[in-house]
Amino acid sequence: MICPQCLKTIDDHAAVCPHCHAYVQAAPARKSYVFCEGCGARLSASDRTCPKCGRPAPGILSTDAAASDLAAGKTASFPKLTDVMLEGARSGRSARSSSVQDVLSESLDPSATNILDRSELDRKSKKRNPNRAEDPYHPRKIVSRRMLLAFSAMVVVACAIAFVWFDPLGVMPGFYQSVRTSAQESFPSREGMGGAEQLAEDAESDTQDEGSQTLEDQTLSDEAALAELTDLYERVVAVNEGDAFADAIDSFNGWYMASSLQKRQDASRGAYEVRDELQGIIDELDALRLMEGSPYEADRDNVRQLAQWMYERIDAICASWDVSLGYPDGESMGQHQDEILAPMREAGSSALNSYYEHVTEWRPQEH
């Protein structure tokens, strides 16, 4: 397997790496969950019945189960109809007399049904339209007054927009000319300076001012630069010390030789996600705009170098995954082990050593 610290090949049963003397810990066992067979809710190992529907947990109702569990299982589900119960119901049915009186006695109570009141329907029909016989089962829909007013307003606005856009009477050019004339009378200096040319120059000047203002807004002050660099530094350290990087190494050690292509693809996702996260941090560092002569330029370069070393480590694992994923499903992977591990061996541990040598002293400090 691969040592999670120095990335060198070591014995699969080794507890301590012979190269960097790091303790090699096996990946933690995945916690298994039990799901209810009735509603599908997730149960814990200590649940004996489902807290949602009351159904006994899978494996509870056995020959060795307690009496309370059997009682819970009996009351938590509906009993099934057996052939004996159905046959008994049929025989009891056939033994009874089938007279007309018996059949009528088994029917539903007519008073319990929902019967329309004819007088009430007639009253409502006459109230709506005294001269029109209305179907009680299909009442006439009345258009709301608010809906009618809203529709009328929409029609008026649409007609106004169409009139201005198409200008059927030809009044808009004269309106535009009157606006220009009023502007020239209000600002006579504009006419002497060239009119349209002066307006174009003013617009270009405004655009340049807005661009310079936007650039100044993106430039970070020293206080903001320290806060941003500290956050990016902690994110780089979290990638190295968190579970994501260690899980990526454990997944590689456990599945890069699997014959199933699907299992190799699932195990490789973690490494590619870590690499994408580090690339995002590097992009954010490159996009930082510091003030001219800022004392935090060196801190930005140091944090970027730490992120780059971490990127080189995970990129070597991704390169080995690229080789492993290049083989088809069901391929015997034993003969390709050296080829798969070649990118990681070429990368070596120089990036790891450099990272640990400078990670503490390169933490951004207030200047």
pLDDT at 252: 94
- 138-160 tens-digit pLDDT: 555 666 788 888 888 999 999 88
pLDDT at 180: 75
Residue 184 DSSP SS3 = helix
pLDDT, mean of residues 242-265? 92
Helix H, strand E, coil C: the string for 138-187 is CCCCCCCHHHHHHHHHHHHHHHHHHHHHHCCCCCHHHHHHHHHHHHHHHC
Q: Which residues contact 319 (CB under 8 A, 6 or more apart)?
A: 343, 344, 347
pLDDT at 63: 45
Rounded distance, CA 306 to CA 360, Å?
A: 11
Tokens of 15: 């507890």
- 62-110 tens-digit pLDDT: 444 444 544 554 444 434 445 665 566 556 554 444 454 554 454 444 4
Name the pLDDT band for 298 (thresholds 50, 70, 90): very high
Query: Out of 27-31, 114-118, 217-221, 228-232, which region has the weakest mean confidence (pLDDT)?
Result: 27-31
More confident residue, 33 or 37: 37
pLDDT at 281: 95
Helices 350-358 and 297-325 pack at an angle, to 10 degrees, of 150
pLDDT at 219: 86
Residue 344 has pLDDT above 60, yes or no: yes
pLDDT at 148: 85
pLDDT at 182: 73
